[in-house]
């Protein structure tokens, strides 16, 4: 009997990101399904999808397109439970379209606030509950650990804000195929940092390493890092920055002895690189990121129907 290759789905899915992003860019340029500029928007999701919501919200608001707040679906203060919020529209991100907390929010908002669901599975319950659907079925995945759906969703969202991500696609081709150095495979600990829309990417990178590798990871807004968390930095550990570097951080990192990565790659390509590193670290530890410990494709809670 031949042994299954660990993370075979994740491998295929993360490697396909440049091609999938190209489709997402074209789709976003064609469609106009997201809330119009100026509207007050909440963006909800769970797990990976929450971190994508954070990135999009920071980018939309900083692009001057209107107030945009990200929420973990379970902690969202939306119009249904707080009139003061007064959002014009809610965007829900969910690959599976079955995550309980997201479905509960969509059901509560129905008829009150316009909702848009960004989905991998366009036949899912979320599709039936949302007022409109942005479908990325070609980005859906077999691996439990999300890679290309999350990044394709963000590529779609950022393109809708007018960002040109064609350069990121090119850089990602290398990021997903270049060999992973041994020092990254063997490192004891990772901390990810970002600023603005890349803070969500840092959190997502940390979650990926926890899900795929069961590893000790942390993530922070880069300017927060020196307010305590830098004490974790030490030889054999890695601090990895997405995007712009806060002034002087390289000097501060040099004193710690940790490996400091500030590659200058496009932040989306950098996240694809983290996917590749996570896969190689999982394999080196005999772990299968397609079926991570204690995780399922989505979290479906045993609650009364909304």
- Using CB under 6 A, list all residues that contact ligand F1P: 46-49, 94-96, 99, 102, 144, 146, 211, 295, 297-299
Residue closer to ligand F1P by CB (options 171, 289) is 289
Least distance from ligand F1P to the Cβ atom of residue 1, Å? 28
At closest approach, how far in Å is the CB of 94 from ligand F1P? 3
Give 93 or 222: the residue with its C-beta nearer to ligand F1P. 93
Which has the closest alpha carbon to 172: 5, 13, 3, 49? Answer: 13
Least Å distance, CB 126 to ligand F1P, is 8
* CB 251 to ligand F1P: min, Å: 36
Shortest gap between Cβ of 297 and ligand F1P (angstroms)? 6
Pick between residue 120 and residue 233 the one whose CB is nearest to ligand F1P: 120
Measured from the CB atom, the residue of 46 and 241 that comes closer to ligand F1P is 46
Q: Minimum distance between the CB of residue 48 and ligand F1P, rounded to whole angstroms?
A: 3
Of residues 49 and 198, the one with the C-beta less far from ligand F1P? 49
Query: Which residue number is nearest to ligand F1P in terms of Cβ?
Result: 47
Work out the number of other CB atoms within 10 angstroms of the CB of residue 169: 21
Q: Which is nearer to ligand F1P, 96 or 219 (CB)?
A: 96
């Amino acid at each position: 009997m031949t042994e299954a290759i660990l993370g075979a789905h994740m491998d295929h899915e993360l490697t396909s990101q440049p091609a999938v992003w190209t489709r997402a860019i074209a789709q976003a340029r064609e469609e106009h399904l997201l809330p119009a500029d100026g509207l007050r928007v909440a963006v909800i999701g769970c797990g990976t999808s929450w971190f994508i919501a954070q990135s999009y919200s920071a980018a939309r608001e900083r692009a001057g397109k209107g107030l945009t707040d990200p929420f973990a679906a379970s902690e969202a203060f939306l119009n249904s439970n707080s009139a003061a919020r007064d959002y014009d529209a809610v965007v829900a991100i969910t690959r599976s379209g079955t995550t309980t907390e997201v479905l509960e929010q969509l059901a509560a908002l129905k008829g009150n606030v316009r909702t848009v669901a960004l989905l991998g599975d366009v036949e899912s319950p979320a599709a039936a509950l949302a007022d409109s659907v942005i479908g990325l079925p070609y980005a859906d995945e077999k691996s439990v650990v999300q890679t290309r759906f999350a990044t394709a969703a963000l590529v779609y969202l950022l393109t809708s804000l007018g960002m040109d991500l064609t350069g990121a696609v090119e850089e990602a081709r290398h990021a997903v195929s270049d060999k992973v150095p041994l020092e990254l495979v063997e490192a004891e600990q990772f901390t990810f940092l970002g600023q603005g829309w890349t803070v969500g990417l840092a959190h997502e990178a940390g979650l990926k390493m926890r899900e795929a590798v069961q590893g000790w990871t942390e993530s922070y807004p880069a300017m927060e890092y020196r307010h305590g968390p830098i004490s974790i930095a030490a030889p054999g550990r890695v601090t990895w920055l997405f995007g712009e570097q806060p002034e002087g951080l390289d000097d501060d990192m040099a004193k710690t002895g940790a490996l400091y990565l500030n590659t200058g790659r496009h932040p989306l390509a950098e996240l694809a690189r983290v996917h590749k590193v996570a896969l190689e670290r999982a394999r080196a530890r005999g772990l299968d990121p397609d079926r991570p410990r204690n995780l399922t494709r989505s979290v479906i809670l045993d609650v009364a129907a909304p």
